[in-house]
Structure 1
Amino acid sequence: MEGAFGAALKKRREARGLTLRELSALVSYSAGWLSRIQAGKAMPTAALARACDEALETSGELVALARTELDGVPRPEQLPMTTTGFTGREAALAALDGTLRRARAAGAPLAVAVDGSPGVGKTALVVHWARSIAGRFPDGTLFADLRGHSDREPADPRLVLGAFLAALGAEGFPESVEDRAGLFRTVVAQRSLLIVLDNARDLRQIESLLPGAASCGLIVTSRRRLTGLSVVTGAERVSLEPMTPAESAGLLRAVVGERRMAAEPDSARALAERCAHLPLALRLAAEQLATHPHRPLAQTVEELAEAPLSALADHDRSPLAVRRAFDLSYDGLGPETAGMFRLLAMAPGARISGAMMAAVSGYSRARTRRLLDELVALHLLQETGPDLYWTHDLLREYAAEQAEAHQLPGEVRAAADRLTSWYLHTADAANAALAPYRWVPSLGSPPAGVEPLVFAGPGAAAAAARWLDGLGRQDLVAVVELAEAHRLPAAWQVCVRMWNWLLLRKPWDIWIASHLAGLRAATAYGNRDDKAWVSVNLGDAYRQRGDFALARRHTTNALELRQRAGDTLGEAWAYASLGLTAADQDDPDAYHHFADALIRFREAKDAHGEAVALCNGAAAAGRLGRNAECDDGFRESLAIFRALGDLYGEGMLWDRRAALALHRGDPEQAAGYLQVAVTRHRDGGNLWPEADTLHRYADLLTRTDRHEEAAAARQRAGDLFRDLGDPRAHTLLPEAGRRGAVPEGR
């Protein structure tokens, strides 16, 4: 099977018009060997990659691909796709090329800040240019939209650093932005990366994201002139101006067509001028004309003349040119379609579900789909998949402005209530499909006009997981914060309903951020029961992150609330959580916490909770030498887990037995138990637990000299962690081959 290096080698060779024999003569490797490498039947060497890179002039691309195949060094490729039909900008591209040329001549790192008004095409230009020079940075590219000028909150540098570190293979990175920034600079110190920070708010937002390595390139875009960046990094500044008349004509010609442009040359020139030569405004006007092939260009010019387009009023507002361009589409909408457009401002993320918009509007699915299709036809929305849409920041900002102008506060709150209710009930259904045996408080029926997604039938769990991994993950924090802002109970209810998915996927930043917001809401306007539920879940997140002090604080608070309320089942879960925290610290009090939990689970007749307490209590008993109690607890809990169909619980049980076997000095038995645990998690589709268990299983296999099996387990764990976005993937995947080899002398 053709590998990445082989595919690139073939593509670059054919682009140069060379046969394998001709390339062989250039690089001094046989044509037969090159053919095998090209077909993926042999691995390239570093020397061969360098020779081919020089012969084919690929600017380091082949060297980087060979490095990835040879040693598994993470090579992020995060640049977005270049804008379709990108045209013009010769002067700006030449200016950017000049910054690179001067940096190389001076032996300095590339650092450039591109500023300009909204709609002037900063991102399109920078992505296009970055792609053209990416080959000079063989260790890959990093990209982040900092949302500095957006209706959404600016990107948190701590979260951006977390994403960058994960992409670069860092593991177990710290919480504070200062510590993450230090680790980021350390990780990139020996790498050659191109880093693009798009839509920066100011220097403060990007200070912690600067690489500090001479081998890395940095490109920043912003509406503001980042003079301070030049002082700090020596960055050159390129101010992007509107298009030239020739470039504007080229853009219009590509969309409207040569025939119409030639028929009305004066109107074409006037149209470009009315659009202030801003690419976004030009493209929107051109799309309007393309949608109406019989409309004269002069008519559009007359409409634009009623409110002339202009540049930015100031750096904190959208340009009037872009706003007016949006107006031209918006003013032509019918009342229902215009209302749907305004509601796009309520969407918590850039990716939008049609089903969610039906709930927000209170319309039927069919009616909503028709209105969204109208917006797609007018290029006010982009369809990206079945019932999925996308819109960019400027359109979202414009929709928010229109909503503010046309909607009453009560209408906004009602829409927020419908949206959060839809998400809440969909999340409830999805998590119930993942773990139907786990009890949560009943929600009752959704409000009138809210039709949440339903997950039923043989594929229910898989469908639920797909939704949770997609829009569920994207929107969780935003939905909780929206509910908090409008003092809606969904702020904490969503946290409770997402527990099963959070347990199986471990998206730590999302888990903690959503629950902190939910806890604030429950404290401010909820009740003790609400606060206790969120506190237990938040405590468990901190426990699994290793922050035992915070875990104990939140869980103890939850226990006190449960005790005051006389909530037996709630007390049981709080005791179980305290037991897990103690067990993770080898604290013998774990045994007593699990015993307290077991009593209460049985009193509440919660079979799943009883099994959890029995299983963990058995492990704690075994560590205290209570072997008979340990065996009984494992046996009873296994019977309950099997009766419930809880494969996650079964996997947890065999994991606990493995840990106990290791504690007793029997790694062979522990490996056998972990093998069973892996199978149970795999059968249940529990991806993160399977990966985590495989990781430890591989280490045990290595300890017992089963090296080939260890390599296979480590490879599988790495593949799963990669799919989950867990940074351990980047260390496990190269280790699979390296550590799986039998040591010399054996």
Structure 2
Amino acid sequence: MPDRPGVHNVVNGDVTGTVVQAGEVVIARGRPAPRQLPASPARFVGRAGDLAGLADEPGVHAVVGSGGVGKTWLAVQWAHTHGHRFPDGQMFVDLRGFSPDRPMAPAAAVRGFLDALGAVDIPPDPHAQVALYRSLTADKRLLVVLDNAADAAQVESLLPGGSSCTVLVTSRRRLTSLNTRHGARHRILGVLGDAESHDLLRARLGSVRIASDPAAVQRIVKHCAGLPLALAIVASRVETSPEMSLARIADELGRLDDEDPANSFPAALSWSLRELTGPQARVLGLLATAPGPDIGLAAAAGLTGSVSELPALARLSLLETVADGRYRMHDLIRAEVRAEDVEATRRVTDHYLYTAHSADRHLQPYGAPAVLPPMSPDCRPEAPADLDAALAWFDAEHQCLLAAVDTAAEHEWHDVVWHLARTLTTYHHRRDHPDADIRTWRLALRARTPGPTLITSHRRLGEALTRALRDSEGLTHLREAIVLAEQSEDLYQLSHTHRALAWALGRQDEDADALNHAQENLRLSRELHDTTSEAHALNAVAWFTARLGDLDRARSFGEAALALRPNPEGEASGRETLAYVEDRAGRPDRSVEHYERALTLRRAHGYLRHIANTLDRMATPLRALGRDEEAEARSREARELFARLQE
């Protein structure tokens, strides 16, 4: 069924809708402008010429240079210094273009920016999301920092609309098509000069230490070849080893450096790594294998067995601390220190799986129980305490969870892939991430293991594609699930797939066909003595019967659904169906009664989108009763909740 006011998904117990009229762009009013920049680089020195000429006017500006040369530091330093020029906010995304993990998909970055801008009623189609992003930014004075881009194709859909925004792109490659198609100005960032390298070391180590052996300092500068990352690693090691003389450090760097500037970073890193303790080296190597762009403390403990070494590794500039106690590793360091350990990789993957399963039980407490693969020894999953904690965990770990699915697929841990896809489905639905759902279920489908898991993979992929408005593809997978379920005579799978097909066809206003599948879902639910599924099926039959105009029969089916005493989520959906029936039948007082009961249930469940949709739909019968002030209050609360969903 199309996602619009007055149309809800009774088939899956879900409600979807909008708060705006067609063609109207709405954003959350009163929310602060986005401020997404990372912290300003500590003790930034030099680059005066690069800073002065970086972005003197709006448009696209690309900073290009080798890995470790300081592109991100320069862009972030400039952004903080000139932040006053962008009253509508500063947005930042690390595109991870050269990370050992999968680079960020442009669609994921666009979606993140829409959330930051407070967009309400984000369309599921990626092209429509890009259009909305450009509409929202067309007249703004906004800074957009696109860090670590792999190529121009990763950048183009992230360029804002209009001509008043400034975009800073960093990359290791010259993005020539940005120049020809978008007039981008390129700044090639070279290594630091000797004077700037001295200044960086002085800022880190102090003038006294630098003055104690100028000749040794000059040799260190030479061996680091002007690479800020190499200088930072050496400086961090010197800071933590005050007993080491500068001359000894220069000598050791010289033995590792064969006069090739390209070896300056590996030499500095190798020298620093030699000084690590055994536990520090082990932890660093394992962290380099972690799926995702960063890692939290609990997952790090699951991967390495200990987090006590993390602060020391951060002090050595081998790790970077990011928000909320998480750690990130530069991809150059990751490539050098990565230590493959299949048992540790499986352990952290199981950490994500088992924690996601616990979190999902808060999001979907009435789902059927699942039997997970055996847990790895020494795996210590988290147990989110409640719904809010579960959502917060999913939000923080989402990119790592997607990377864990990739990792499990690479190792052909097909059962882990399937269960990760399953545990992410409800979260993806809540946060409106159909593309991520498509990605995980496609990976789950690769195994093509005959049986219920294969049927479920087709069904879930079909549902995700349908949510993304890729209706033809979605129906193909749903119908394949029907064929497989019929061939295997799996009535349970057949019942659920008919339910999914009813929902998918209803979104396309194919109400008669949808009703046929809902009726088949009802027949099979009764044959299986599955009262929960029967209640959902009765509700779906009621909905499509009402859509086709037979309100009396629709009311009978809806009341029969409630008589089965479904779970609170199912009752809320049933009440909303009856509210729709009564509203169409010209009984707004009865409609409001059902909506009020549904709203009470929705509030208890805590799913904000459901609450917002129920509030939004109540306004019509309230106005029909002349209760205009109450209708406006409900509509206003709905708008506020939709805005919160984008925070």
Q: Same fold (TM over 0.5)?
A: yes
Distance 1:615 1:332 in 2: 67
Q: How does 1:372-521 map to 2 (within 5 A)?
A: 372-382=310-320, 388-394=325-331, 397-403=332-338, 407=340, 411-412=341-342, 414-443=343-372, 445-455=374-384, 459-471=385-397, 473-489=398-414, 490-519=416-445, 521=446
| 8 Å contact from structure 1 (residues 559, 571) kept in 2 | yes
Equivalent of residue 259 in structure 1, options 195, 208, 212: 208
Residue in 1 aligned with 2:41?
A: 83
Higher RCO structure (Cα 8 Å, ≥6 apart):
2
Q: How does 1:148-547 map to 2 (within 5 A)?
A: 148-168=97-117, 169=119, 171-173=121-123, 175=125, 181=130, 184-211=133-160, 213-308=162-257, 313=262, 320-361=263-304, 367-382=305-320, 388-394=325-331, 397-403=332-338, 407=340, 411-412=341-342, 414-443=343-372, 445-455=374-384, 459-471=385-397, 473-489=398-414, 490-519=416-445, 521-523=446-448, 526-547=449-470
1:564 equivalent in alignment to 2:482: no
Q: Describe the SS at the equivalent of 1:112.
A: strand
Distance 1:241 1:435 in 2: 53
Deviation at 1:208, TM superposition (A): 3.8
- The aligned amino acid for 1:428 is H
| 8 Å contact from structure 1 (residues 688, 724) kept in 2 | yes
The 10-residue stretch of structure 1 (163-172 or 288-297) with the greater mean CA deviation from structure 2? 163-172
- Change beyond 3 A, Cα 1:223–1:702: farther
- Change beyond 3 A, Cα 1:88–1:475: same
| 8 Å contact from structure 2 (residues 536, 561) kept in 1 | yes
Distance 1:310 1:119 in 2: 18
Residue in 1 aligned with 2:10?
A: none
Deviation at 1:180, TM superposition (A): 5.4
- The aligned amino acid for 1:333 is L
Distance 1:233 1:436 in 2: 50
Distance 1:696 1:478 in 2: 38
- Change beyond 3 A, Cα 1:249–1:551: same
Q: Describe the SS at the equivalent of 1:150.
A: coil
- The aligned amino acid for 1:552 is L
The 10-residue stretch of structure 1 (372-381 or 570-579) with the greater mean CA deviation from structure 2? 372-381
Deviation at 1:183, TM superposition (A): 5.3
Residue in 2 aligned with 1:58?
A: none
| 8 Å contact from structure 1 (residues 194, 216) kept in 2 | yes
Distance 1:652 1:700 in 2: 17
- Change beyond 3 A, Cα 1:606–1:250: farther
**TM-score, normalised via structure 2 length:** 0.85
Residue in 1 aligned with 2:642?
A: 721
- Change beyond 3 A, Cα 1:215–1:501: closer
Q: Cα deviation per residue 1:176-222 (whole Å; 9 max; x = unaligned)?
A: 55x65555545443333333222222334334444463323232222
Unaligned segments of structure 2, at least 5 residues: 1-25
| 8 Å contact from structure 2 (residues 233, 316) kept in 1 | no
Deviation at 1:435, TM superposition (A): 2.9
Instruction: Please report the RMSD computed on the Cα atoms of aligned residues, expressed in angstroms.
Output: 3.3
- The aligned amino acid for 1:421 is D
- Change beyond 3 A, Cα 1:722–1:329: farther
The aligned length equals 619
Residue in 2 aligned with 1:609?
A: 533
- The aligned amino acid for 2:410 is A
| 8 Å contact from structure 1 (residues 505, 688) kept in 2 | no
Deviation at 1:581, TM superposition (A): 2.5
Which has a greater percent of helix?
1
Q: Describe the SS at the equivalent of 1:368.
A: coil
Distance 1:550 1:704 in 2: 44
Distance 2:272 2:565 in 1: 58
Equivalent of residue 620 in structure 1, options 525, 544, 547: 544
Q: Cα deviation per residue 1:13-42 (whole Å; 9 max; x = unaligned)?
A: xxxxxxxxxxxxxxxxxxxxxxxxxxxxxx
Q: How does 1:112-127 map to 2 (within 5 A)?
A: 112-127=61-76
Distance 2:197 2:538 in 1: 72
| 8 Å contact from structure 1 (residues 667, 704) kept in 2 | yes
Q: Cα deviation per residue 1:278-307 (whole Å; 9 max; x = unaligned)?
A: 222212111111112332222222221112
- Change beyond 3 A, Cα 1:265–1:665: farther
Among the aligned pairs, what percent are the same residue? 33
- The aligned amino acid for 2:535 is A
Deviation at 1:565, TM superposition (A): 1.9
Distance 1:625 1:718 in 2: 30
Q: Describe the SS at the equivalent of 1:196.
A: strand
Q: Cα deviation per residue 1:333-373 (whole Å; 9 max; x = unaligned)?
A: 34443233222233222231343344445xxxxx4233445
- Change beyond 3 A, Cα 1:609–1:111: same
Distance 2:641 2:49 in 1: 46
- Change beyond 3 A, Cα 1:243–1:180: same
Residue in 2 aligned with 1:19?
A: none
Distance 1:611 1:583 in 2: 18
Q: Describe the SS at the equivalent of 1:218.
A: strand
The 10-residue stretch of structure 1 (571-580 or 657-666) with the greater mean CA deviation from structure 2? 657-666
| 8 Å contact from structure 1 (residues 539, 552) kept in 2 | yes
Q: Cα deviation per residue 1:215-274 (whole Å; 9 max; x = unaligned)?
A: 232322222233443333333332223233333333223322333223333323332232
- Change beyond 3 A, Cα 1:505–1:672: farther
Distance 1:621 1:149 in 2: 54
Q: Describe the SS at the equivalent of 1:369.
A: coil
Distance 2:619 2:199 in 1: 59
Distance 2:642 2:636 in 1: 10
Q: Cα deviation per residue 1:588-638 (whole Å; 9 max; x = unaligned)?
A: 343342332233334444443233223223333445676676455444544
Q: Describe the SS at the equivalent of 1:82.
A: coil
| 8 Å contact from structure 1 (residues 276, 310) kept in 2 | no
Distance 1:691 1:671 in 2: 15
| 8 Å contact from structure 1 (residues 506, 688) kept in 2 | no
| 8 Å contact from structure 1 (residues 201, 222) kept in 2 | yes
Residue in 2 aligned with 1:57?
A: none
Distance 1:385 1:145 in 2: 14
| 8 Å contact from structure 2 (residues 435, 464) kept in 1 | no
- The aligned amino acid for 2:418 is W
Distance 2:389 2:91 in 1: 31
Q: Describe the SS at the equivalent of 2:326.
A: strand
- The aligned amino acid for 2:329 is H
Unaligned segments of structure 1, at least 5 residues: 1-67, 104-108, 314-319, 362-366, 727-746
Residue in 2 aligned with 1:141?
A: 90
Q: Cα deviation per residue 1:634-691 (whole Å; 9 max; x = unaligned)?
A: 445446556xxx4332322222223323333445543443343233222112123223
Deviation at 1:118, TM superposition (A): 1.6
